[in-house]
Amino acid sequence: MSGGHRVIEQRRGRCVLVGLGLALTLVLTACSNDPYPPEPPGQKILYSSFTEAPRTLDPATAYTTVAHSVTGAVYETLLKYHFLKRPLELMPGLAAALPTVEDLGEGRSRYRFVLRKGLLFADDACFELGAPGARTREIVMGDVAFQLMRLADPKVGSPVIEPFANIDGFQEFGSALAERREADEAFAARPVHEQYAELGGIRGIATPTPWTLEITLHRPYPQIRYWFAMEFSTPVPWEAVAYYDGQGGRPRFDDHPVGAGPFYLAEYDKHARYVLEKNPNWYGVRNPEWRAPAAVFPEPAEESDVDSGRAEYAGRSLPLIDRVIVVREKENIPRFNKFIQGYYDASGIIKESFDSVVVEGGLSEEMKERGMRLGKSVSPDVFYIGFNFDDEVIGRAGGERSRKLRQAMSLSLDVGEFLRIFNNGRGVVAQSPLPPGIYGFDSDYQNPNRRLDLERARELMVEAGYPGGIDPATNEALKLGFDTANTTTAGLNQVRFFTNAWREIGIDVAIRPTNYNQFQDKIRRGDYQVFQFGWVADYPDPENFFFLLWSKMARSVAGGPNAANFMDDRFDELFVSMKARENGPERIAEIREMRSILERERPWIELFHREDYSLYQGWVKNVKPMGLSIPTYQYRDIDPEARRALREEWNEPVLWPAWTLLFLAFLVIVPGVRTYLEERQ
Amino acid sequence: MGAYVLRRLAYGVGVVLGVLFLLFVLFFAVTEPEDIARKALGDKVPPEAIAVWLENHGYDRPLWPWQDFEENLLFDHYRRMLTFDFGLSDADDSPIVDRIRAGAGPSLTLTVPLLVLGLLTAIPLSLLVAFFRETYIDRMGVFLCVLAMSVSTLLYIIGGQYVVGKLLRWYPISGFDADPMMLPRFLALPILVGILSGVGGDVRFYRTVFLEESSRDFVRTARSKGASEPRIMTRHVLRNALIPILTRVVTAIPFLFMGSLLLEAFFGIPGLGSMTFDAIQANDFATLRTMVYVGALLFIFGQVATDISYGFVDPRVRVE
């Protein structure tokens, strides 16, 4: 080989060595499983995750748990729920007190809210629109009125028009707005706050002073108060809606919330991560001396609050943490494993790991040793099987015969077994539509037609004229259809559980899988007999469950959510009365009578209320789920030192397999090369 | 050359138009706009909100031109695609162009190193097994390649996350951070998994190519002139096997922008693959049709680029 060639070869060899050295350095510096950059000292950061990107953060339309985890922290409401009291109880938020109610006669009433003075929105560039150089401004009741007008605006497409339609002139305002926009293009092109102002606002909403809001209802609806504890009615600055229009590089209002909550949205990539920072303008931070109920950690309300150490926090100003980092984690298994490594502060429990985490309803020894805690809460929901009362066989036309058939079908289902098979035993067997935590729920109540009693079910079949399940008209097993839009294998297996149970009393229920639209179409046409639905409460009031069986909500008549088309005069009478009544013995008596009607009539077979199991790291304090999708970040506390130490302990890399692999590769390749070279020589 | 490129591009236009039509028909055959609206808005929303959503997204119009020649979804679908006016996502109303812009970076940070490192792994390995042809290294190599090809990518992902992420704790199980100090630790595991899942097929393919080249006359001549085996493999065999390698690589290059569907989805990398995966799960027709359209365009571009590149690596090839 010539000298030139040798130099080139040497240079090449050096390049390879440098390249390998660089690659090795890269691999070694990358060798850490910590997904976060170093934390700034002295900051308390909560780490969490989300699965699906929120569609919108507009408080008029956001209606999912993931969206509420942002909007609930960024927007503040006039009323709030007490963090520790169960059942949930309303308390003042931005409002100085709970609203006063004035009876105007003929079912009309007026609610009067008074706002605290000196409240500010979070800093934002949009306020330049109102006053040059301004970064924020004072919140006034006009901002709440503006948001209520947005709810009525058909262009916004809010999902909660129906409850707010109890406000005098609410729907007329929406219609007038649509008509005017249709007729006048110049009007339609103006900013919405100018359009609303020109139409004169909603008749039933008045702001006699900047800090007073009067809402006039044209029919009784005391539940309206709950809607003022939701972000739908939060104060929204007109400047934010006008400024964040998606033009000129500005985001849309959907993606850029401007509120007055304990946190503001510091970073938002809806498909990857978002960061909430403590809002220095929040009244709890700016004016801790006010000792406002929603800005101070409450006194313990239950024994469990004392046992879990929450009592020590009573009276402390909120929020207790500085920042919340929420990362998108689409898959369950990586999310759970990262929680086990200490990189998330809380997690649900995946099915695959349930048995290793939960033993006999409590935490496994391994989890206890890691200092983890298990939180259980029953969700304010109900899952049920419904019967279509418009159907000739199963519905009202069949009279006593159909009633007994429905009762027999109700007595054939073992829901406890269903929960054990399909949900790791998680869930509370439902006895009535009301779940625990909702006023009127009675833990001692046992529905006589809502248990497994095959003997009685068979007797009822005989009484109904279907002995052994045989339909005398055909001399064959009675045939019914179960429509389901859940056509996944798991979904169909669940339906199969029910149809197999009914086969025990001789009924042949065919499963009719359809897609959601076909199912909706069938429901519109009344072409269905048995179906399965669920309902999650919007607010903690029995009205929000019993209205699903009110005749005015019947699907076939009004297109409402009463898909069973259940219509019972006495039930309706009791519902209307119960709905307007304050909690107390009379309301309880009415709830009991409604419950007994459902017990007998069986428009539903109540199945279960979901039970959520959550795991929390030992360094997270003050976790008390509220059931409804209400974030409680401001109450949480973190011990960052304990977290850092445990993360280090749990995540020491195991390097011996890398060295073993390299050694094995060496053992395989070197003899081969040597043999080959020897053979070639 | 110019005429050839134009002809190929003209074929491509036909293919794209056909793809767009098929996509339109297939999508509306299996789903209805109301389904998409329900998925986006949730089950609780009243019919009025669904109607507003349909109107805002333009789905309140008839499907076909014979129903309404001026205002129909088919023409609108073509108009939007051909003018690159992709509009808003059906799932979350975000502008699709912005999402493509935001997603291309993370996708490329994964796919470019994956392609380069994959080549740097597969070519030396295939040269090695070809070099040791018909020895136990060759046979073991082929066996391992077939084994590696037989395992599903999903298993590599889950296995990689479990072993490397959970048990050995070398790299994060999933996640992404564009900070240059953080990025390598997030990319290490997906790249490792990507290489492992692809190396079997690549080595099998390149080994065949190299073996075919190594039996040619010029290799025998080089050997008879006393050239060493490593020199023959790297200087003569590798250089002459560039055409099939190039075909594979150049065809793959345009698709680097599209990201990797499974790797991005499972490792939480917010790229275009992940975006497409989300769109499939959410019935997001607007995003899906955009991605299929962009994919078809890139495919045609890749085909033409491959043909042209032949001329550069092999002067005997002339495109006419």
Three-state SS sequence of A302-358 = CHHHHHCCHHHHCCCECCCCCEEEEEECCCHHHHHHHHHCCCCCEEECCHHHHHHHE
**Residue B97 at interface with chain A, using a CB cutoff of 8 Å:** no
Min CA distance, B21 vs chain A (Å)?
A: 24
Q: What is the DSSP letter of A378?
A: E
pLDDT score recorded for residue A17:
53
pTM attached to this predicted model = 0.88
Give Cβ neighbours of residue A518 (< 8 Å, ≥ 6 apart). Answer: A485
- Listed as ranges, residues in chain A with pLDDT below 70 are 1-30, 517, 672, 675-681
- According to the model, what pLDDT value does residue A28 have? 59
CA distance A223 to A244: 33
Contact A63 B44 (CB under 8 A): yes
Identity at A168, one-letter amino acid code: D
Q: Does B165 touch chain A (CB under 8 A)?
A: yes
**According to the model, what pLDDT value does residue B233 have?**
78
Chain B interface mutation, best of A64, A338, A677, highest count of B Cβ atoms under 10 Å: A338
CA distance A72 to A59: 9
Residues 101-120 of B with CB under 8 A from A: 102
Among B27, B28, B35, B44, the residue to mutate for chain A (most A Cβ within 10 A): B44
- Name every chain B residue with its beta carbon within 8 A of the beta carbon of A55: 40-41, 91-93
**Pick from A30, A37, A334: CB nearest B188:** A30
Closest CA to A425 of A517, A360, A498: A360
B275 and chain A in contact, CB less than 8 A: yes
CA-to-CA distance for B234 and B224, rounded, in angstroms? 17
CA B271 to chain centroid: 12
pLDDT at site A679: 60
d(CA A551, CA A542): 16
Strands A79-81 and A90-92: antiparallel
Cα dist. A310→A160, A300, A502, B201, B210 in Å?
35, 7, 48, 59, 71
- DSSP run (H or E) holding A119: none
Tokens standing for A659?
């060295």
Tell me which chain A residues have a C-beta less than 8 angstroms from the C-beta of B47. 559
- Alpha carbon of B165: minimum distance to chain A alpha carbons (Å): 7
Shortest CA gap B198–chain A (Å): 20
- Asked whether A158 and A60 are in contact (CB, 8 A), the reply is yes
Beta strand ranges found along A469-550 (DSSP E) = 470-471, 476-477, 479-484, 508-513, 530-536
CA of A551: how far to CAs of A407, A573, A589, B232, in Å? 21, 10, 21, 87
- Omega before B47 cis (within 30°)? no
Tell me how far CA of residue A490 lies from CA of A421, A500, A515, B155, in angstroms.
11, 15, 15, 22
Residue A382: φ, ψ to 5°? -145, 135
Write out the two tokens for B175: 């996640």
The answer to whether the CB atoms of B177 and A37 lie below 8 A apart is: yes
Mutate to test the interface with B, among A9, A32, A524 (most CBs of B within 10 A): A32
Token pair listed for A149: 């007008």
Token output for B90:
């059906």
B26 reaches A (C-beta below 8 A): no
For residue A212, the model assigns a pLDDT of: 98
Enter the tokens of residue A509.
């229920």
| Interatomic CA distance for residues B64 and A617, integer angstroms | 56
CA distance A274 to chain B (A): 13
Helix (H, G, I), strand (E, B) or coil at A587: helix
* Interface mutation target, options A247, A330, A352, A659, chain B, most CBs of B under 10 Å: A330
Q: Is B17 on the interface with A (CB under 8 A)?
A: no
Measure the CA–CA gap between A554 and A139, rounded to whole angstroms: 41
Q: Hunting for tokens 């391992």 — which residue is that?
A: B144
pLDDT at A2: 47
10-residue averages of pLDDT along chain B (320 residues): 78 86 82 78 75 86 87 89 90 89 93 93 88 85 92 93 93 93 93 94 91 86 82 81 82 81 92 91 86 87 78 66
Distance in angstroms (rounded) separating the CA atoms of residues B156 and B167:
15
- d(CA A585, nearest CA chain B) in Å: 32
User: What is the DSSP track for A228-245?
Assistant: TTSGGGS---HHHHHH-B
Of B35, B92, B136, the CB nearest to A516: B35
Smallest CA-to-CA distance from B73 within B36, B44, B121, B42 is with B36
Tally of CB atoms within 10 A around B178 = 12
Nearest by Cα to A505 from A547, A457, A449: A457
- CB-CB under 8 Å, A334 with B174: yes
**Residue given tokens 């050694």 in the structure block:** A663
Residue of chain A whose alpha carbon sits nearest to that of B228:
A680
A328 with B270: Cβ contact below 8 A = yes
Cα–Cα–Cα angle for A543, A545, A547, rounded to 5 degrees: 65
User: How far apart (Å, rounded) are the C-alpha atoms in residues A58 and A252?
Assistant: 9
Average pLDDT, chain B: 86
Q: Which residues in chain A have Cβ-Cβ distances shorter than 8 Å to B93?
A: 55-56, 252, 254
The CA angle A430-A434-A436, to the nearest 5 degrees, is 80
Interface contact flag, A159 B92, Cβ < 8 Å: no
* A314 C-beta neighbours (distance < 10 Å), count: 13
Give residue B84's region: left, alpha or beta (phi > 0; psi -120 to 50).
Answer: left
In one letter, which amino acid is A339? F
Query: Which ipTM was obtained for this model?
Result: 0.84
**Span between the terminal Cα atoms of chain A, in Å:** 19
- Cα distance from B137 to chain A (closest Cα, Å)? 7
Is B49's CB within 8 Å of A158's CB? yes
From B100's Cα to the closest Cα of chain A, the distance in A is: 12
Tell me whether residues B135 and A672 touch, CB distance under 8 A: yes
Q: Give the residue among A161, A236, A146 at the shortest CA–CA distance from A193.
A: A146
**Measured distance CA(B175)–CA(A679) in Å, rounded:** 50
Give dist(CA A47, CA A39) in Å, integer.
11
| Residue in this structure with the two tokens 């068979």, named with its chain if needed | A458
What is the residue whose two structure tokens read 């365009």?
A: B297
pLDDT for the residue A18: 58
Omega prior to A87 cis, within 30 of 0 = yes
Nearest Cα of chain A lies from the Cα of B139 at a distance, in angstroms, of: 12
Scanning every residue of chain B, which has its alpha carbon at the shortest distance from the alpha carbon of A333?
B158
Give me the residue from A27, A270, A343 closest to B92, CB to CB. Answer: A270
Contact flag A159-B167 (C-beta cutoff 8 Å): no
Q: What is the pLDDT of residue A198?
A: 96
The rounded distance, in Å, linking the Cα atoms of B24 and B17 is 11
Give the burial class of B3: count Cβ atoms within 10 A of its Cβ; 0-12 exposed, 13-18 middle, 19 or more buried: exposed
Can you read off the two tokens belonging to residue B228?
């060493």
Residues of B in contact with A64 (CB under 8 A): 42
Instruction: Tell if the CB–CB gap between A34 and B49 is shorter than 8 Å.
Output: no
- A428 membership: H or E segment, kind and range: strand A428-429
Q: Which one of B49, B166, B170 has the shortest CB-CB distance to A159?
A: B49
Q: Which residue of A has its CA nearest to B102?
A: A269
Q: Give the 3-state DSSP-derived string for A128-163, with helices as H, strands as E and coil as C.
A: HHCCCCCCCCECCHHHHHHHHHHHHCCCCCCCCHHH
A-chain CB neighbours of B99 within 8 Å are 271
Helix or strand or coil: residue B70? coil
pLDDT digits (tens, 9 = 90+) for B86-127: 988 988 888 899 999 999 999 999 999 999 999 999 988 998
Tokens of B105: 């970076």
Q: Which one-letter amino acid corresponds to residue B235?
A: R
Q: Buried (b) or exposed (e) across B129-148, using 16+ Cβ within 10 A?
A: bbbbeeeebbeebeeebeeb
Query: Cα(B79)–Cα(B85) distance, rounded to whole angstroms?
Result: 8
